Structure 1
């Protein structure tokens, strides 16, 4: 019985990630999550409480996966940005859910401090002062923003700028440019 509950919860969560990634919090519908997951609406509420709880769980799941699959190490911050880009290209739901949260529900959980504390800790120089801590946060925000830029840029602009180049070639060029830009950010802000 416990296995059935875990499987039902996982199925609902997968469906919620797909639903909220495409339609956001406001446009997401519990009825579609129910249909995609094969779980009745009552089970969704049993497992997640309400729509906010379901959205929070979906966001936390994709961010937890991202954190686990894209570790950050102080000695390879430019590499982190490129690995993050690769992850977001193959798992766009992380950038999409984060964007929907910022647009529609910036005050809505989940409390992801635990995920970001780990990233911040990997970047923190020994005994930083307040200014150093601010630079570390700035560096992390810039690296994450550059890695997600293709995900959040308008598709029309990307297609127009690609000027007929194959998508794989355009992606490889951006990935290379990201590595160069990330090295520059790290060198200039953190002196490493």
Structure 2
């Protein structure tokens, strides 16, 4: 039977998401992640490198999920208010991303500021907010 790499990565990301949400980066253990995913822990190192990079992959995955699931619809203040409400509701129902970001802020501190990969991940969302507010030009600045 052929090994399904994408399935294994998905299982590892799911297991790592639960582990990091509960224990944070410092408290998470790769052996628990591997056991929860039903794979050998060497797969973590093969696919993600080290635990820190797996944590980054989990956050990137969750950011993408929220960006995809909660979209800005329409334009104007009502559209932004609606978006803010739906985003709040989303995080109220699924606190995964806020938990991960809180852990990251606690454990990494200054490391999380000015991350180009984060900016790229959320650029479309920012552009959508700007489009929803007609008459407000985007002021660009280096990231």
TM range (shorter): 0.7 to 0.9
Residue deviations 1:126-149, cap 9 Å, x none? 56275xx7xxxxxxxxxxxxxxxx
Q: TM-score if structure 1 supplies the norm length?
A: 0.62
1:91 equivalent in alignment to 2:94: yes
- Alignment-derived partner of residue 145 in structure 1: none
- Alignment-derived partner of residue 7 in structure 1: 7
Q: Which runs of 5+ in 1 are unaligned?
A: 134-192
Q: Distance in 1 between matches of 2:116 and 2:47?
A: 15
Q: TM-score if structure 2 supplies the norm length?
A: 0.81
Q: Distance in 2 between matches of 1:57 and 1:16?
A: 9
Pick the structure with more helix per residue: 1
Q: Distance in 2 between matches of 1:110 and 1:118?
A: 14
1:113 equivalent in alignment to 2:113: no
Moved over 3 A (4+): none
1:100 equivalent in alignment to 2:109: no
SS in 1 for 2:66: helix
- Alignment-derived partner of residue 39 in structure 2: 39
- CA RMSD across the alignment: 2.2
1:48 equivalent in alignment to 2:48: yes
Describe the shift of the 1:33–1:81 C-alpha distance in structure 2 as closer, same or farther (beyond 3 A): same
Q: Which runs of 5+ in 2 are unaligned?
A: none
- Alignment-derived partner of residue 153 in structure 1: none
Matched residue count: 131
Larger Rg: 1
Residue deviations 1:73-124, cap 9 Å, x none? 4430111111111211222111100111111124156821122211211122
